[in-house]
Amino acid sequence: MKKSDLKIGPIDFFLFSVIMLLVAIGVVMVYSASSYSAFFNPNYKDSMYFFKKQALWAFIGIVAMFFTIKIDYHKYKKYTGIIMIGTVALLFAVFAFPAINGAKRWIQLGPATFQPSEIAKYVVVLYMAKSIEAKGEKIKSFLNGILPYLIISGFFAGIVYKEKNLSIASVIMIVTLIILYIAGAKRSHLIGIFSLVVAAGAAGIYFEPFRMKRFLSFLDPWKDPKDTGYQLIQSLLALGSGGIWGVGLGRSRQKCYYIPEPHNDFIFAVIGEELGLIGCTFIIILFIIFIWRGIVIAVNAKDTYGTILAAGITSVIAVQAIINIAVVTGSMPVTGVPLPFISYGGSSLLFNLVAMGVLLNISRQGGKKFDI
């Protein structure tokens, strides 16, 4: 594409505002959720320990987002192959590091840890966007259209699964199916594939004892309230204690060693306790607006590559948000999916914000003139 053909407009203000609001809420809630345990932890003895780290990563991530906003998204086509190879190398590199809580998902970089699986989610989207644009109507064929994407996505998901991270592996496959649907794959093919993905997920639960215990505890957490059902019960107690208006920011009781690591995957429960139904509803509305604007950007994109890329990035955030909120409210079995932009985690926040920069760059180049 020639520079003269590039029409740069303003970024999507609604999307940008939502992203910044979610990041700001995330930093505040990480501090609120972690301050008690961080202060009494003999390794930290600092109530602001996790807040400082999250605020630093938020700053780095926002700088990176502004950087990627200025990069023409078409340039990623040239480097997709290199990025994929690098990501595979990083995914395998985690096995050289010690396990944390029985899982090998992290690369230790001095005082910081880094999860390559956070990159893998977006690498699959980059690959599919580039390939689907070139494939055109062949996407309707199973052997030449759908199967190659299932193999590539399945390969990435398989490595992530071996890291004891079924949740992110599932996100990769769900996003793959969403992109294939948007790209025009036949519904009959997708229904069959979806059935296989569900079967594979069920097998992953059945043949892994700790996942099976989690699943059974989801069906009846009060059957084993001191072990497998403990986390979900404490989450429900937090949500119930918050009522409509909440007990007040910083006044959660469940974060005081009742919910394990409340600043991570179950931070939405602390939000429910401190800010009540009003706070939870506000967070959900922000994610709904995010999905809406992501769809608008995808529909208005000037080419197929931009449409698939925008839809894929939006889907990654949407799927994770839906799963996290469903888990915290007891609507599905407990998994390790963080709430995007809000849960504690430097690598997750950084790469989500980098992806937001790409999405906002697509919004600057929208070639169509309608909105929804």
The model's pLDDT over 342-353, given as tens digits with 9 standing for 90+, comes to 999 888 999 999
Q: Partners of 109 in the beta sheet?
A: 112
| Residue 290 placed within a domain | yes
| Residue 210 placed within a domain | yes
| Residue 90 placed within a domain | yes
pLDDT at site 329: 92
Instruction: Enter the tokens of residue 211.
Output: 């996942």
The fraction of the chain above a pLDDT of 90, given in percent, is 61
Can you tell me whether residue 100 is helix, strand or coil?
strand
Q: What is the secondary structure of 131-162 as a DSSP string?
A: HHHHHGGGGGSIIIIIHHHHHHHHHHHHHHHH
Torsion on CA atoms 249, 253, 258, 260, rounded to nearest 10 = 10
Residues 291 and 280: their CA atoms lie apart, in Å, by 17
Can you tell me whether residue 345 is helix, strand or coil?
coil
Task: From 115, 97, 107, select the one nearest 169 (Cα to Cα).
Answer: 115
Residues 100 and 41: their CA atoms lie apart, in Å, by 18
Residues 109 and 78: their CA atoms lie apart, in Å, by 28
Instruction: Enter the tokens of residue 344.
Output: 């504690």
pLDDT tens figures, 50-108: 999 999 999 999 999 999 999 999 999 999 999 999 999 999 998 888 777 667 788 88
Q: Is the pLDDT of residue 211 over 80?
A: no
Residues 85 and 313: their CA atoms lie apart, in Å, by 20
Q: Is the pLDDT of residue 27 over 80?
A: yes
| Residue 95 placed within a domain | yes
Please tell me which residue, 304 or 217, carries the higher pLDDT value: 304
Residues 17 and 21: their CA atoms lie apart, in Å, by 6
| Residue 371 placed within a domain | no
| Residue 213 placed within a domain | yes
CB-based contact 37:355 (threshold 8 Å):
no
CB-based contact 279:348 (threshold 8 Å):
no
Please tell me which residue, 163 or 121, carries the higher pLDDT value: 121
| Residue 183 placed within a domain | yes
Question: Which amino acid would we find at residue 164?
Answer: K
Average pLDDT over every residue of 254-276: 92
Instruction: Enter the tokens of residue 353.
Output: 């914000």
Average pLDDT over every residue of 209-218: 70
How many domains does one find in the chain?
1
Query: What's the pTM?
Result: 0.92
| Residue 215 placed within a domain | yes
Domain that holds residue 264: 7-364
